[in-house]
């Protein structure tokens, strides 16, 4: 009887050490998403009817304002189905059966009922045996839980890719860009860019970061701006502004999006000496990790750049970034 007791003391000591060694996290790499209010979509009205709402209301609220929740109700989606002979073949990603049942390789299967929940909680979390899969699988008497690789860091790339890898309808399979790049090997994931760390929880004495289900989307100007880096190059008395894609895939990543940059080169007195525009759209997209140059003529004192985005849900182009570069 002595041994187990000693082991218990040791275990308790180890836990104390672990919590003492816990260092407060640096501020989240990305802030909470703040989409422009008129950028639409807003939220799924019937979200609170989800069976998870009773206990995971905060997550349901986050999810409700994304196109995952609205993937079925989305007016562009519904409009696109009108007159299609095989509309049924579209529903597998917009109102899917639980993906852990059908696997991530084949085409996701459509759900016969409750389609208004779109890409629902169960789509990503429900295992074939009824357990709810998560990043830690913490035990609870509310339902069975299990830890799953597919909901943990880079392991979740396979889950996201199951729907985002295929080019179909207006959709570009941008997850392929990501899969074919160096990023997965560097330990990068879709969730680290698209699901911000927004709170920490303490479970059985272990603190961990929790990511928001409110996805980062191009409706948030700051997030869209984070897709790009700029630098000014001068050679032979001429100036070039160089734009590089920092996102995890091509930009823009969806048909019907247009991003326009307008640059003005100014001399020391503030007089405009050159200007240029650059448009990114479906046919002239900027591939992952690649750069484009804007020629700005003669040597200048500074360059002012404004970025505008157009998407089919919003009438007017929106300005999402303004910056000034100096040589
Ligand atoms: C393999 C999964 C998959 C299938 C099958 C699928 N979609 Fe989608 N759909 C997506 C994804 C992923 C997005 C979001 C893409 C993005 O935001 O980059 C999307 C978005 C859309 C949008 C919104 C586009 C926009 O401009 O915002 C429409 C419309 C749409 N799909 C129509 C269809 C139609 C019509 C079909 C059947 C022909 C279909 N989808 C089948 C995955 C799928
Ligand atoms: C598109 C897939 C997807 C959908 C839809 C989705 N989740 Fe998640 N969920 C994830 C991923 C991925 C994680 C793990 C994030 C991480 O790396 O920490 C997660 C984490 C969680 C966690 C664990 C949180 C933590 O870190 O302790 C819970 C609980 C959860 N989700 C519940 C829900 C509920 C409830 C819904 C519906 C409102 C939902 N999820 C919808 C993908 C999804
Ligand atoms: C009656 C309350 C209740 C309901 C309803 C409920 N859950 Fe939970 N769930 C919990 C509790 C309690 C935990 C333990 C962790 C916590 O406190 O978040 C948990 C844990 C989880 C986890 C594990 C997170 C991890 O540690 O990896 C996931 C995933 C999850 N729930 C998803 C769901 C989904 C999806 C639904 C709806 C289909 C749902 N839950 C419905 C109470 C509930
Ligand atoms: C079951 C299929 C499916 C899975 C799995 C899935 N998505 Fe999506 N996702 C969609 C569809 C469908 C849309 C767009 C719906 C529309 O426009 O009508 C979408 C939209 C998005 C958007 C744009 C959201 C917005 O509100 O503008 C982002 C970002 C995104 N997904 C990221 C992810 C990430 C990250 C994962 C993995 C954690 C993931 N998706 C897993 C189907 C899926
Ligand atoms: C390094 C960060 C990063 C990674 C990794 C990343 N993304 Fe993105 N993603 C972005 C940025 C920034 C944007 C906004 C620019 C744009 O709209 O193209 C974006 C846009 C999107 C959109 C919206 C496209 C639209 O026009 O509505 C979807 C969907 C998406 N990403 C899915 C994914 C998926 C799925 C993965 C993993 C396979 C992934 N992303 C990996 C940064 C990232």
Q: Who lines ligand 5 at CB under 6 A?
A: 157, 160-161, 164, 174-175, 178, 183, 188, 190, 193-194, 217-218, 223-224, 226-227, 247-249, 251-254, 257
Same domain assignment for residues 192 and 50:
yes
Strands 302-310 and 258-266 turn out to be: antiparallel
152 alpha carbon – ligand 2 mean position (Å): 10
Same domain assignment for residues 232 and 204:
no
Looking at the CA of 257, which ligand is closest? 5
Predicted pLDDT at 19: 35
Given 190, 211, 232, which residue is the final one in a domain?
Answer: 211
Contact assessment for residue 162 and residue 108, using Cβ atoms and an 8 Å cutoff: yes
Given 211, 231, 262, which residue is the final one in a domain?
Answer: 211
Distance CA 93, CA 267 (A): 52
Given 158, 182, 211, which residue is the final one in a domain?
Answer: 211
Same domain assignment for residues 96 and 186:
yes
Contact assessment for residue 292 and residue 276, using Cβ atoms and an 8 Å cutoff: no
Predicted pLDDT at 47: 96
Tell me the CATH number at 281: 2.60.40
Q: Is residue 2 part of a domain?
A: no
Same domain assignment for residues 192 and 67:
yes
Sequence-distant (6+) residues with CB within 8 A of 238 are 295, 296, 297, 298, 299
If you take atom 42 of ligand 5, which residue's CA is the nearest one? 247
Q: Give 3-state DSSP helix, strand, coil % of the chain, rounded to 5.
A: 30, 25, 45
Could you list the residue range(s) of the whole structural domain that residue 188 is in? Answer: 27-211
Q: Is residue 7 part of a domain?
A: no
pLDDT in tens, the chain (327 residues): 334 443 333 333 333 333 333 333 444 567 888 888 888 888 999 999 999 999 999 999 999 999 999 999 999 999 999 999 999 999 999 999 999 998 999 899 999 999 999 999 999 999 999 999 999 999 999 999 999 999 999 999 999 999 999 999 899 999 999 999 999 999 999 999 999 999 998 877 888 899 999 999 999 999 999 999 999 998 888 899 999 999 999 999 999 999 999 999 999 999 999 999 999 999 999 999 999 999 998 889 999 999 999 999 999 999 999 999 998
Predicted pLDDT at 40: 83
Q: Domain count of the chain?
A: 2
How would you class 109 by CB atoms within 10 Å of its CB: exposed for 0-12, middle for 13-18, buried for 19 or more?
middle
Same domain assignment for residues 65 and 166:
yes
Rg (CA), the chain: 24
Same domain assignment for residues 92 and 177:
yes
Q: For residue 257, give the ligand 1 atom closest to its CA.
A: 26
Q: Is residue 241 part of a domain?
A: yes
Q: Is residue 152 part of a domain?
A: yes
81 alpha carbon – ligand 5 mean position (Å): 25
Same domain assignment for residues 92 and 200:
yes
Q: Which helix (H) or strand (E) holds 145?
A: strand 145-147
Same domain assignment for residues 163 and 195:
yes
Q: Is residue 104 part of a domain?
A: yes
pTM score of the predicted model = 0.93
Q: Is residue 1 part of a domain?
A: no
Q: Is residue 8 part of a domain?
A: no
Predicted pLDDT at 14: 36
Q: Is residue 4 part of a domain?
A: no
Nearest to 236 by CA among 283, 155, 298: 298
50 alpha carbon – ligand 2 mean position (Å): 14
Predicted pLDDT at 29: 65
Cis omega (within 30 of 0) for bond into 252: yes
Same domain assignment for residues 243 and 193:
no
Same domain assignment for residues 198 and 230:
no
Nearest to 263 by CA among 208, 211, 325: 325
Same domain assignment for residues 225 and 200:
no
């Amino acid at each position: 009887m002595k041994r187990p007791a000693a082991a218990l003391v040791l275990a308790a000591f180890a836990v104390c050490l672990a919590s003492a060694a816990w260092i407060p996290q640096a501020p989240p790499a990305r802030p909470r998403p703040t989409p422009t209010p008129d950028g639409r979509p807003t939220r799924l009205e019937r979200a609170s009817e989800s069976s998870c709402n009773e206990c995971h209301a905060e997550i349901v609220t986050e999810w409700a304002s994304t196109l995952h929740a609205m993937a079925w109700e989305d007016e562009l989606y519904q409009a696109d189905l009108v007159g299609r002979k095989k509309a049924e073949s579209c529903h597998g990603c917009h109102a899917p059966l639980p993906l852990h049942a059908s696997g991530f390789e084949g085409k996701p299967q459509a759900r016969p009922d409750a389609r208004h929940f779109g890409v629902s909680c169960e789509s990503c979390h429900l295992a074939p045996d009824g357990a709810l899969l998560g990043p830690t699988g913490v035990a609870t008497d509310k339902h069975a839980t299990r830890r799953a690789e597919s909901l943990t860091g880079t392991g979740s790339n396979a889950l996201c890719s199951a729907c985002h890898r295929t080019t179909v309808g207006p959709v570009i399979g941008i997850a392929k860009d990501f899969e074919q790049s160096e990023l997965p090997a560097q330990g990068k994931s879709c969730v680290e860019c698209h699901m911000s760390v927004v709170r920490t929880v303490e479970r059985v004495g272990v603190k961990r970061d929790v990511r928001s289900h409110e996805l980062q989307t191009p409706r948030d100007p700051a997030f869209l701006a984070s897709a790009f880096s700029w630098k000014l190059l001068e050679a032979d008395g001429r100036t070039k502004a160089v734009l590089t894609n920092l996102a995890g895939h091509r930009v823009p990543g969806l048909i019907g999006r247009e991003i326009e940059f307008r640059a003005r080169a100014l001399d020391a007195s503030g007089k405009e000496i050159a200007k240029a525009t650059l448009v990114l759209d479906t046919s002239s997209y900027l591939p992952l990790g690649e750069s484009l140059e804007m020629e700005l003529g003669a040597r200048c004192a500074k360059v002012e750049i404004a970025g505008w985005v157009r998407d089919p849900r919003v009438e007017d182009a929106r300005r999402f970034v303004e910056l000034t570069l100096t040589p």
